[in-house]
Amino acid sequence: MASVGGITCDYVHGSAAGKKETTHLWRVPGLDGYGAHLLGLGDSETVFRAVRFNTAAAVHVWVGLLESLQGQVIVVVNDWAETVSGFFVTRVGRPQITADLGNGGARGEIEIEGVIT
């Protein structure tokens, strides 16, 4: 089952970017060419989109739990049961909560941004 930091979700869209060699280019005024610093493995910024269907009250509680994950290292399990360990949450986006007038429930959606440590 999909989850973000142990919090159950109906869907978690997205997959993690693998770590790649990170470089920083620089130039010196008056000299031709470029310099480069190899910074090691990194460049693994990833965004997951979590979705939950439930009552309006339960969706608001779910959003609060996800918002509390910002700044923590968590485990994410996406729709395809791919597990991402060591995911550092850098930002939890603005929640989008939609009422479902057909059955009295609600749909919550939120983006979780971070990097693989």
Quick one: pLDDT at residue 31? 87
Q: How far apart are CA 68 and CA 105, in angstroms?
A: 23
Find, among 74, 70, 52, the residue nearest to 5 by Cα: 74
> Residue 72 has what DSSP assignment?
-
| Total number of domains constituting the chain | 1
CATH classification of the domain holding 91: 2.40.30
Owning domain of residue 57: 3-116
Block means of pLDDT (10 residues each) for the chain, length 117 residues?
A: 95 86 87 86 88 93 97 96 94 92 84 93
Quick one: pLDDT at residue 101? 63
**Structure token digits, residue 50:** 């979590």
Quick one: pLDDT at residue 4? 97
Q: How far apart are CA 88 and CA 51, in angstroms?
A: 19
